[in-house]
Amino acid sequence: MAKTKASSNGIAIKKKKPQSARERNEGIPFDPNLISGLNINRSAVERRGATLAKRRSVKKNYQAAWLLKAIGFIDLTTLAGDDTTGNVVRLCAKAKAPVREDILEALGMADANITTGAICVYHNFIKDARKALGNSGVPIAAVSTGFPAGHIPLKEKLKQIELSVKAGADEIDIVISRWMVLNSDWKALYKEVKACREACGKARMKTILATGEIPTLTKVAKASWVCMMAGSDYIKTSTGKEPVNATLPVSLVMTRCIREYYELTGIKVGFKPAGGIRTAKQAISWMILIKEELGNEWLDPYLFRFGVSSLLGDIERQLEHHVTGRYSASFRHPLGGTTSY
């Protein structure tokens, strides 16, 4: 039976049964009291974050298995000013066949139908991506709402979302108005994100906090909570365009907010670190974070993604080393040297 928990402003929050199906986050009423007492100890978070890459190690066959799984979490991305239709078509080909066939055959995974979690492009390339992906089942994510800075009117943000959904985007990556976080205007942030969620319709929404431009971890935590209350299906660290992008300490704060939101509501919200994750070793560190903080259920493309471009090339290199015992040059792997995200 569903439980009801009273929030501190007197609004009753009906806690759902644990999700058995892939439900959307419909959000909850805005409650400033849920965030008023948040205060993050940066030094403690940084100490915990520093241990994540050191306390656990994955070797040999287990490492290969983890890396194959990591491929399914990748939002393979191109968000550069010199993007072309040809670049996007090439990106889609790699998303459908992310690892060379000879490597998969050596691993006994030739029939595993491994693809990336999605491809991520600007609005103008949605139709090109849809045509290139065909019936592969790889979702299309489109950045929207004045990406990356978000300094456009809300009316224009909502129009961008609606156009991208109409063009065929399965997922929408929005950017918040950072000034609302800097000014602690949480009610305004809630209203903005909720309006964007409604504009997305059936498309799943990832909300980018741009944590590299948020001065404190406490504000990161509060922004995470507000975006989840407003109905975000994922919360995402970065656009990839900030001076500092995804870090383990920031990711630790955001995943614990996701865990607490789930404990309060029974709703599972996804997490997407983006920007700066370039190596297979880093990918495993983030997967360990998810496993330890949220559990195995979150190690699913429906609830966890990487926003990356160059990561896939290094994963393929590591898998080839596992098979042959030799490291290959990165230029031998298509898309292995791009740095757009």
Question: Tell me: the pLDDT tens digits for 46-60?
Answer: 999 988 877 777 889
Residue 166 a catalytic site member: no
- 6 domain residue, yes or no: no
Average pLDDT over residues 298-325: 94
Polymer length of the chain: 341
Is the Cβ–Cβ distance between 49 and 248 less than 8 Å?
yes
Query: Based on the number of CB atoms within 10 Å of its own CB, is 123 exposed (0-12), middle (13-18) or buried (19 or more)?
Result: middle
Average pLDDT over residues 318-323: 95
- 25 domain residue, yes or no: no
- Per DSSP, the three-state class of 244 is coil
What percentage of the chain exceeds 90 in pLDDT?
A: 84
Is the Cβ–Cβ distance between 277 and 283 less than 8 Å?
yes
- 187 domain residue, yes or no: yes
Round to whole Å and give the CA distance between 15 and 134: 39
- Cα dihedral: 95, 96, 102, 106 (round 10): 90
User: Of 157, 194, 222, 272, which one is the catalytic site residue?
Assistant: 272
- 202 domain residue, yes or no: yes
- 130 domain residue, yes or no: yes
User: Of 222, 236, 268, 314, which one is the catalytic site residue?
Assistant: 236
Residue 202 a catalytic site member: no
Tally the domains of the chain: 1
- 286 domain residue, yes or no: yes
Higher per-residue pLDDT: 330 or 150 = 150
Residue 191 a catalytic site member: no
Would you state the pLDDT for residue 329? 76
Quick: pLDDT tens for 245-304.
999 999 999 999 999 999 999 999 999 999 999 999 999 999 999 999 999 999 999 999
- 138 domain residue, yes or no: yes
Q: What values do phi and psi take at 228, rounded to 5?
A: -70, -40
- 236 domain residue, yes or no: yes
Tokens describing residue 146: 């004045």
* Other CB atoms within 10 Å distance of the CB of residue 146: 17
Tokens describing residue 290: 């998810």
User: Of 173, 194, 219, 314, which one is the catalytic site residue?
Assistant: 173
Q: Which residues constitute the domain of residue 45? A: 33-332
- Per DSSP, the three-state class of 17 is coil
CATH number for the domain that contains residue 163: 3.20.20.70
Quick: pLDDT tens for 216-241.
999 999 999 999 999 999 999 999 99
Q: Is the peptide bond before 32 cis (omega within 30 degrees of 0)?
A: no
